[in-house]
Amino acid sequence: MNDTDVFARSGQRRALPVVLAFATLLIAACGASTSAKQSSSAATHGTGGSPSAAPSAANQAGLTSSGSTLPAGQAATVHFQAGPTDAIGTLRISITVRPGSIQDLKAFQLDAQSKLGVPFYISATVKNTGAANVNPAGFFGSLTPRDAAGDEITSITLLGDFAKCQGTAPSHLRSAAQFSMCEVYIAPKGHAVTKVDFDGYAGKDEKETKVTWRTAAS
């Protein structure tokens, strides 16, 4: 096998619904002054007079709430666990998506179907914002690019240097350290990457976190 061989792989995860709990607190103080009642009402209902949502546990911990949709380029902070015996880390992730040309890959041996497609280069900058050291080697397995119909776009692994899309995840990421990496995806002709899903599980209960980045093509 030479340095221009290419392999394809793909993976899917099942998304679970996220339910946000809302609470309304009614405070009635018998015999209290009008100003005290107004103060209580403002604290309970907010300035608009409508019930306010209680902050989620994710927001309180500085995490991006599961189910969030962000524009590409905006960072999300999520829990990440490579495997059940690995430490649960906290990662700040920023995603960018760049379309390319199939001519970019002319030095590599592509199969007939791939030659008809359009490459997309998906880059991630990841910073460990938690206290625990993290093993992010399988981080890109948590990312799934999709087209406008929601179908998964398949990634390819190129053997050899490719200047337009470089960088790999380390096997060890210390607290406050960061890395950047890039992977190549081939969309069928006429399709484009319109969103990228992060779908990760962490903890003994394998709690799911799902965040979606929308691209300029969406």
Q: Please provide the DSSP assignment of 50-80 as one string.
A: SPPPPPPHHHHTTPPPTTEEEETT--EEEEE
Mean pLDDT of the chain: 79
Cα–Cα distance for residue pair 91/14, rounded to 1 Å? 21
Question: Mind listing the domains of the chain with CATH numbers?
Answer: 6-18+63-214 (2.60.40.1240), 21-55 (no CATH)
8 A C-beta contact, residue 152 and residue 144: yes
- pTM score of the predicted model: 0.72
Cα–Cα distance for residue pair 155/117, rounded to 1 Å? 12
Stronger pLDDT, 195 or 18, i.e. the higher one: 195
Digit-coded pLDDT (tens) for 84-139: 889 999 999 999 999 999 999 999 999 999 999 999 999 999 999 999 999 998 88
Q: Using the predicted structure, report yes or no on whether residue 154 has a pLDDT greater than 70.
A: yes
